[in-house]
Structure 1
Amino acid sequence: MDFTSPIVPQQSFSEITVSFDVLQLISPCNFLVFGLCHDSLMWASFNTRGKTLFLEEDPKWVQTVLKDAPDLNAVVVKYQTKLSEAGVMHVFLHDVNRKVEKAYVNEFLCENYRKHAIGWLWHFEIPPARNPTGDGGWFC
């Protein structure tokens, strides 16, 4: 598999370093990436002995990316994940300066789970759900 690309990464070196450092500690692992981008080859290369899966909701974009990188493991999905099915998750969110990403953080992630904030990249470490169907308490 060739992991080189002439495309400049969408993240800064500092932002990439946070993800790289965490993945070096936990790799090989199952690495789930929401969305395909021009950096997808880079993300896959950080976990060469593990399994990296890209989830993308735009089938045309999946075809476009896989045309140039056919070895990437990418699938088209409609997101229906339940928190009760998850263990410890590492979530990397880029472009946190944008309105949509901030809304996502406020809706689905908790500030107290944030471990790193470098540039426009935030890294969250979310513990396993303890009682997802219990007293109706909030995720945070």
Structure 2
Amino acid sequence: MKTSARLIVLHPSVHKHGGASHRIWLLLFVSFFTFAFIFTLFTTRDSITTTTRTTTSAAAASSNSRLPKPVFDALLHYAATSNSTATADRLSSAELKSIAAVLRRCPTTPSCNFLVFGLTHETLLWNSLNHKGRTVFIDESSYLITKLEEKHPQIEAYDLQFTTKVSDLYNLIDYAREQIRNKCRPVQNLLFSDCKLAINDLPNHIYEVDWDVILVDGPRGYFAAAPGRMGAIFTAGVLARSKRGGGGAKTHVFVHEIDREVERVCSNEFLCRDNLVESKGSLGHFVVEKMDENSFEFCPNSSSSPSSISSWADD
């Protein structure tokens, strides 16, 4: 009986220790999964919050990438007011508004790739109106470029040595016609062009951009030895026709002082009278379409004869 009693006392003791052990493991198991659940809950919530904030920020950035219309209109208003009496080197109020309207409804919304030949009174205005867009300025004066970069380091500008002269206008036109299937093709990579009218020594990345808007307001062209805008207009025409598809199929090209001989003749030759959509004061607005690389005519639907060139001056 003693032995049996001893056995009865020992059995509960053994079961008691085993039950405690199982409870401890069960408690640890439940605690682990509780912790894992709470940790997952918090990290998921933080992830959702972060994602929401990122999405909201991205949406806000997209909506704010275009200059607010009241600010856009105010800048244009004060610029137009200060230019109400336009001089030879300034755009009139109507001319400013013509360019600004295209920038406002840029083909590659919300901002434009805007190439400007010439540093002028309107340089800061163009950079501001094309808010968060790509605006690049090209000018013949390294001095003016340096001064601009010192005062406004955020502006992208390059100086360029033009090799043409106003007095060479008709020789260059004849040369371009002779080389239209070779060096002076309407569709080509200007970086490798040997055409005398091609601007090919800008930084390489300039030629990789699909420009939406191009303004030719430089270089100087008011005396015989001045470089003239033959190269700028030819280059604008080739850039517009040689787009690779990153932007719209059309490029808006503006030529200032189109009433002058060089600007009128070269615009007719390389931008084409049929592409002229608007004329405000001395500003011509052309819309030039992308062309097939096997095209060898700048103006397939119009004549470039001397008579058609001179008749434009009488319009």
Question: Normalization by structure 1: what TM-score?
Answer: 0.80
1:12 to 92, 107, 115: 92
Shift of 1:105: 0.8
> Could you tell me which amino acid in structure 1 is paired with residue 104 of structure 2?
Q
1:96 aligns with 2:258: yes
Q: Distance in 1 between matches of 2:257 and 2:270?
A: 16
Contact map agreement 2:269 2:298 (CA 8 A) in 1: no
Q: Secondary structure at the match of 1:126?
A: strand
Aligned residue number for residue 286 of structure 2: 124
Please name the residue that 2:242 is paired with.
Answer: 85
Are 2:159 and 1:72 aligned?
no
Report matched runs for 1:34-53 at 5 Å: 34-53=117-136
For 2:294, the equivalent position in structure 1 comes to 133
**Which amino acid in the other structure matches residue 294 of structure 2?**
T
Q: Residue type of the partner of 2:286?
A: F
For 2:121 and 2:281, locate their aligned partners in 1 and report how far apart those are by CA, in whole Å: 19
Question: Letter of the aligned partner of 1:85 in structure 2?
Answer: S
Q: 1:36–1:65: 8 Å Cα contact kept in structure 2?
A: no
* Alpha-carbon distance, 1:89 to partner: 1.4
Aligned residues: 133
Please tell me the root mean square deviation across aligned C-alpha atoms, in Å: 2.4
Distance 1:57-1:109 versus aligned 2 partners, 3 A rule? same
The Cα of 1:94 is off from its aligned counterpart by 0.8
Identity %: 32
Greater helix proportion: 2
- 1:74–1:119 Cα change, 3 Å: same
Deviations 1:55-94 (A, max 9, x none): 2233233123334433321112461355453252111111
The verdict on how the C-alpha distance between 1:13 and 1:89 changes in structure 2, with shifts beyond 3 A counting, is same
Cα distance in 2, alignment partners of residues 39 and 59 from structure 1: 18
User: Which whole-Å deviations, capped at 9, do the CAs of 1:21-53 have from their partners, x for residues lacking one?
Assistant: 111001511111122212111111111121111
Task: Give the TM-score of the pair, scaled to structure 2.
Answer: 0.38
Q: Secondary structure at 1:74's aligned position in 2? A: strand
SS in 2 for 1:38: coil
> Structure 2: how far apart are the matches of 1:95 and 1:66?
27
SS at match of 1:129: coil
- Larger proportion of strand: 1
